Structure 1
Amino acid sequence: MPRGLSAVLLALPLLHSTAFARAGCETLGGEAVQGGLLWGRVPPGSSVMLDGEALPVLPDGWYLAGFGRDAPATAQLVVEGPEPCAATLAVAAREYRIQRVDGVPQRTVTPPPEQLERIRRERALVVAAKARRIEQPDWLRQVAGAFAWPASGPISGVYGSQRVYNGTPGTPHYGVDVAAPAGTPVLAPADGLVTLAEPDLFYSGGTIILDHGYGLSSSFLHLSEVGVAVGDEIRRGEVIGAVGASGRATGPHLDWRMSFRGRRIDPQRLVPPMP
């Protein structure tokens, strides 16, 4: 497994004080909150289900669970194996910034018809890259430390925020935006394998997806340079690209997003405060 996942499993408890235990279940850590990650450990050979979905369990029993932007108030955790248990998890709700913008020309909200096929093709590339399931548990304990910021600068956009254009809600923002000059190096926040490296996608421009293993991945959008290729194995802190304003961006910044098995999670909850 790419070493970035070990950073989550082994080091993130140092960043948060929300570790807790459920009666009859193994100790859990992290945050049961919309956009958050939760992790725990069960006896090897166990299976773990969250709301009926099987979660990946590493050979030594570590597992991850993720909660989307609009996750419901409760989730059912079921462990089957040597020490079976079940628990109802309370998922904390969040308030998101909603901005209403009226009088926007429709052509800036809706892509032109001649670009729709391109958009569909590029979306399929992204979905396929995130659908890969990379499992290399022998890498688990080769790295210490949590996720690091891929770039430094003012935070100009946050996870979960949303704009309503001319009364129609737009797609929520699923990343954290870091404002930085064009050309600023973008660093890998954790180890992983490059599954997408595209210089010019319609919406996101220069785009990289770095898979941290077992369905956990980072995406880096609007890059001016893509310095890696699909199949590259990357270590935390290596330069992978450069900040830009490519795609549908209004100025240079890094849009860093994270996904866990189809759920968009908040990268800002996995890193220390911005320096």
Structure 2
Amino acid sequence: MIATRRALLVGAGAGLIAAPLAWAQDRNDQDRNSVPLALNGAWRQGGYALGRTTPGALIFVDGEALTTASAAGLFVVGFDRDAGPNVRIEVRADGRTARRTLDIAPYAFPSTRVNGLPPSTVEPTDPALLERIQREIALKTEGFASRIDADDFRDGFVWPLETYRVSSAWGAQRILNGTPARPHYGIDLAAPQGSVIRAPADGRIAFVRPDMHFEGGLTLIDHGQGLITCYLHQSRLDVQQGQRVRRGDPLGRVGMTGRATGPHLCWRMKWRDRNLDPSLMVGAQAPKTIA
């Protein structure tokens, strides 16, 4: 059964998406010695925090300087699938600081089985293929290293397909052809072959290639500050590397290239080296004020 976006959210298909916590918001108690800071987001494994603070402020996560607030004072922080029970965010600007410790809720990720995959896409052994995979890892690593100075995440995201069915939830432990594999760091959206994939938010194309071994047709979009979304298994690519895209622009078409048993879009999101659930960002918005 194919569901529209509305049907997915209000019908039985919605149960396949890890529901975010009640929208969390935190506002800094202002005083002359602290940096203004407001946060909101989904504070759970695979979730995120969107923040507003002083423009250009340096953002530390668990003691490590990881990003800088935009000219509008906006920033994003992601929580990995296996994030611990809390994350400490510290903002520094003009000799002042603000600190917040966020409680990160655990999530019970499901387990899914996928059978019928070509053995070369599960446990490759051919030396030439292994060499190709290593080359492609290097290419993807370069794409994920993109860091544009932008805050295109500020108005959240929309779904990249108009009509789809969630066929595999984000974060599920995968068993491929009976072999335990890494967790699935994407949400699979089954849709008819050739369905148009659209940019869910503004950004710049950081990587595009039609013939990756595992991913098939692959596109990466940089939304700023290391937040990158990924679009796998495309049958056609309609963008070029370096191109600026706006929300709703066509990226390509749904296919079943790479490691796939049917036509679908695998939608992924990373913040730096952390894997996030992109569905949690649908409808999100950064704090409007810090007053």
Amino acid at match of 1:21: R
- Indicate the structure with greater strand content: 2
SS at match of 2:25: coil
* Contact preservation (8 Å) 2:110, 2:173: yes
| Pick aligned residue for 1:73 from 85, 101, 123 | 85
Kindly indicate whether residue 157 of structure 2 is the aligned counterpart of residue 147 of structure 1: yes
| Pick aligned residue for 1:20 from 5, 26, 40 | 26
Deviation of 1:146 (Å): 3.1
Summarize deviations over 1:219-247 as a string: whole Å, max 9, x none.
Answer: 10000001111111111111110000000
Classify 1:127/1:97 alpha carbon distance in 2 versus 1 (closer, same or farther; 3 Å).
same
Q: Distance in 2 between matches of 1:166 and 1:253?
A: 19
Counterpart for residue 135 of structure 2: 121
Counterpart for residue 7 of structure 1: none
* Contact preservation (8 Å) 1:206, 1:221: yes
Deviation of 1:165 (Å): 5.2
Counterpart for residue 187 of structure 1: 198
Q: Distance in 2 between matches of 1:23 and 1:73?
A: 23
| Pick aligned residue for 1:90 from 92, 103, 113 | 103
Q: Distance in 2 between matches of 1:166 and 1:146?
A: 36
Counterpart for residue 41 of structure 1: 52
SS at match of 2:136: helix
* Contact preservation (8 Å) 1:99, 1:163: yes
SS at match of 1:70: coil
Counterpart for residue 61 of structure 2: 50
Give the % identical residues.
41
- State which drifts further: 164-173 or 40-49: 164-173
- Number of aligned residue pairs: 255
- State which drifts further: 72-81 or 39-48: 39-48
Amino acid at match of 2:194: G
Counterpart for residue 268 of structure 1: 279
Q: How does 1:128-207 map to 2 (within 5 A)?
A: 128-136=142-150, 145-151=155-161, 152-164=163-175, 169-207=180-218
SS at match of 2:164: coil
TM-score w.r.t. length of structure 2: 0.79
| Pick aligned residue for 1:110 from 123, 134, 144 | 123
Deviation of 1:74 (Å): 1.2
* Contact preservation (8 Å) 1:99, 1:164: yes
Counterpart for residue 64 of structure 1: 76
Summarize deviations over 1:128-150 as a string: whole Å, max 9, x none.
Answer: 0110111147xx6xx98531111
Counterpart for residue 4 of structure 1: none
Deviation of 1:16 (Å): 6.4
Deviation of 1:195 (Å): 1.4
Q: Distance in 1 between matches of 2:215 and 2:250?
A: 19
Q: Distance in 1 between matches of 2:54 and 2:141?
A: 32
Amino acid at match of 2:142: A
TM-score w.r.t. length of structure 1: 0.83
Deviation of 1:65 (Å): 0.7
Amino acid at match of 2:271: F
